[in-house]
Amino acid sequence: MAMRAGIWIFLVALHVQAGNGQMVQMDSSKSGFVGSQVELRCIFINSNPPVKISQVTWQKLLNGTKQNVAIANPALGVSVLPPFKERVTFKQAAVRHRTPSLEDTTIVFSNLQLSDEAAYICEYTTFPAGNRENMVNLTVFARPMTRMTLTTPTIVARATKRKMTVATCMSANGKPTSVIKWDTRLKGEATFQETRNQNGTVTVRSNYVVVPSRETHKQKLTCIVTYRSERITDSVVLNVQYEPEVKIDGFDGNWYLKRPDVQLTCRADANPPVTIYQWKLLNGSLPSNVEIKNNTLFFKGPVTYDLAGTYVCDATNGIGTRPAVVDVNITEFPNNSLPGGPEIPQEQHNTGAIIGGAVVGVALLGVAAILLFVFLRRRQRTFKGDYSTKKHVFGNGYSKAGGLPVHPPMPKNLQYPDDSDDEKKPAQIGGPSGFEASEREFDGEQEDLKRPYFTVDEVESRDYDERTLAFQYDPQPEIADDMISQTDGSVISKKEWYV
C-alpha cells in the first residue's frame, strides 16, 4: 500500500515538472475592419524532453458557447469547418503537410465580418502532459459610410421667415459610434439622431436648420465626422432662391438744367436672375425723350424740368416681383460740391487762384496807401504830442499850459484881385496897427495865403530872406525874446517852457 502511494506521488511530480515547461503563446487582443484580413497567432512552447502533440483545435467562444473553427491532427491532417471554411487558413505550410509540424498553428482570417467578433481559443492536446490552451479577443470595426446632402436641390426663401432643414450629414453603419460637428458661418442650429442596427453598428444623422434668406445663398456648410482617430469632412454650398432686391442708380442729387447725358439704371440682386424690368413715372408718363434699353433709362438731350418726378422700377424673377423708387428733382444751377457738378480743368483752378491772389494783393496795397495818405495829411495839417516850440510858428499847436489855443480870426480886409492875364497876387492887408508887409511876391502858391498857420517844415522849405508874411492880427504886447505867450494871456520864460 505504501509502495503504491509513493509511485503515485512520483508520477504527479513528473506531471507537474513537465507542465511547467509547456505553454501556448497568443496575443491578448486583435482587431480589424470589416472586409480586411487579420492573423490570430498561436505558438506552442514545448518542454525538454518534448511532449507529443496529439491535436490542435481552434474554437470560437461567444456568449459562453464554443464553436470549432479549425483542427490540425498529425494523422488526419487539417480540417476547417463551416462557416469559416472559405475564410480561415493555417498560416504555416508545414501544418498542412502529411506529417505536419504543429508548433506554430497561427490562423489567418480573410474578409472579416462583424459576426467574426468574438474570443478565440487555441487548445493543444499533448501526451502525457494533457491539454494546454490560451485565448485572444478579436474586435471587428466597421468604417461608416459618410455623406452630406442638401435637403432639396433648391431652397426657396419665403416671406414668412420660417426655419427649415437645409442640409443633412450622415455617418451610417459605423462601429464604434461616430461624432458629427458642423463648420459654417451660417447662424442656425443642428439636430442629432442615433440609430443602433442589428449587426452592432450605429448610424448617426444630423440636420442643419436655418431661416433661408438672400444672405444664406452661396454659403458653405461643412460636416466633420470624427470616427475613432480619423476626421472625415464633406461640404455643400447652399442654393437659395429669393425675390429681387432692387435699387436705382444714376441720380446723384445734382441734376441741373442743361446737364447732358443723364440716365437711371435699375439694379437687382436675385436668384434666379431677373427676367423683366418695367419702368414707370408716378402721376404721369415717362418723358418723350427717354429711351429704354434693358434695365436703363437714357434721357436724350440736356436736362429740363420735365424730367422731375418719382421713377419706379419693377424687377421680376421666377420667385416674385419687387420695386425700387427714386425721386428726381431738377435745380437751375449745379452744385459743384456734389459729384454731378461740372468739372473745372486744373488750369482754370490755377488761373483763378493766381487772379484771386493778385486782386487781394492790390486791395491790400490800396488800403495801405489810403491809410498812409490820411496819416501824412493829418500830420501835415496839425501837430500833436510834442510841445517843442521849435516846431511851431505864430502860435500854431498847443500850449504847455494846456487847452486848445483860440485861433486868431481871419482879417476881414483880406482881399484878392480879379483874375488877369498876369500872375495872380494877393492884395495888401492893412490893419488898425498899420503893419504892412513889404515887397511881397509869390510864385502862384495862393493856398498858403488861406492857411492861418503852417509847420516849421513848410517854413524851412521857403526862402524867408526874400519873403515875409503879411497876416494882420490884433495888436499884441511886446514880448521879450526869452518869453513865450500862453493862450490865457500870460507869458512864461523859455526856461520854464522846456522844463
State how many domains the chain has: 4
Residue 179 lies in a domain: yes
Residues 217, 289, single domain; the answer is no
Helices within 210-311 (DSSP H only): none
Residues 160, 272, single domain; the answer is no
Residues 197, 274, single domain; the answer is no
Residue 477 lies in a domain: yes
Q: Tell me how far apart the alpha carbons of residues 111 and 125 are, in angstroms, rounded to a whole number.
A: 29
DSSP assignment of 321-383 equals EEEEEEEE-EESS--TTSTTSPPPPHHHHHHHHHHHHHHHHHHHHHHHHHHHHHHHHHHHH--
Residue 363 lies in a domain: no
Q: Is 6 helix (H, G, I), strand (E, B) or coil?
A: helix
CB neighbour class for 248 (10 Å; exposed up to 12, middle 13-18, buried from 19) = buried
Residue 345 lies in a domain: no
Q: Which residue among 122, 141, 160 closes a domain? A: 141
Residues 77, 181, single domain; the answer is no
Residues 112, 55, single domain; the answer is yes
386 φ/ψ angles, rounded to the nearest 5 degrees: -135, 125
Residue 14 lies in a domain: no
Residue 354 lies in a domain: no
Residues 170, 129, single domain; the answer is no
Q: Return per-residue pLDDT of the chain as tens, 499 residues.
A: 333 333 333 333 333 333 456 899 999 999 999 999 999 999 999 888 888 999 999 999 999 999 999 999 988 889 999 999 999 999 988 887 766 789 999 999 999 999 999 999 999 999 888 899 999 999 999 999 999 999 888 899 988 889 999 999 999 999 999 999 999 999 999 999 999 999 999 999 999 999 999 999 999 999 999 999 999 999 999 999 999 999 999 999 999 999 999 999 999 999 999 999 999 999 889 999 999 998 999 999 999 999 999 999 999 999 999 999 999 999 999 988 776 555 544 444 454 456 556 666 767 887 788 888 777 777 665 544 444 444 444 444 443 334 444 444 444 444 444 444 444 444 443 444 443 333 444 344 444 444 444 444 444 444 444 443 444 444 444 555 556 665 555 656 555 544 4
Residues 28, 121, single domain; the answer is yes
Of 379, 411, 404, which Cα lies nearest the Cα of 475? 411
Residues 208, 317, single domain; the answer is no
Q: Which residue among 84, 115, 141 closes a domain? A: 141
Residues 262, 313, single domain; the answer is yes
Does the predicted model carry a pTM greater than 0.85?
no
Residues 137, 150, single domain; the answer is no
Q: Which residue among 238, 259, 290 closes a domain? A: 238
Q: How far is CA 262 from the centre of its chain?
A: 32
> Residue 463 is part of which domain span?
377-499
CATH of the domain at 290: 2.60.40.10
